[in-house]
Amino acid sequence: MFLYMLIYMAYHSSRWIPRSKRLKFQIVNVVFTALVLVPQFVILGSPKSSRYCNQPLLNNLSASIALSFIAAGFSVIFTLTDPVPQSLWASYHVFGLLTCGHGLSTAVLTLTAASCAKTTPELYCMSLFLTVASIFSTAFFLLRGALWLAKRPSVMDLSGNNER
């Protein structure tokens, strides 16, 4: 869910900037994309990462890199397109489900890979970071969803007065 949240924040941050000046925001977008991708590539290319680990953390990192590229594409499209078509919103939410599944699998792999902390420390630390980031972003969206539900008028209000 971490990548899903980054796209969400890029979209809402870009809406504060006038449409004619969003090109400058794309530079910030590239910097954030680099901050997400470069550490993953460094760890993927590290010789220590190819050592034996009883969990497929290296495969999980490869999936994370692929999802990061997709997230970079979504953030660029969302910050340049106004209004965003419904079909793009739908694909973004499907991507959110994919990142949720990836975050869940990363958490399970990280929790069961304690021995990998000694054999592949950088890979294990990256997996741990992705797990923590996924937990925080999931909590963010759960809180956001709860606030959205609290703000909606009640379906059970039979008086006909649905205004709050």
Q: Is the dihedral of CA 47, 48, 52, 57 positive or negative?
A: negative
Print pLDDT tens along the chain (164 aa).
889 999 999 888 888 888 777 787 888 888 888 998 999 999 888 887 777 778 888 899 999 999 999 999 999 898 888 888 999 999 999 999 999 999 999 999 999 988 888 888 888 999 999 999 999 999 999 999 899 888 877 656 555 555 54
Q: Are 138 and 114 in contact (CB under 8 A)?
A: no
pTM of the full structure: 0.83
**Cα–Cα distance measured from residue 114 to residue 55, given in angstroms and rounded to the nearest whole number:** 9
> What ranges do the domains of the chain cover?
2-142
CA distances, 111 to each of 56, 107, 123 (Å) = 12, 6, 13
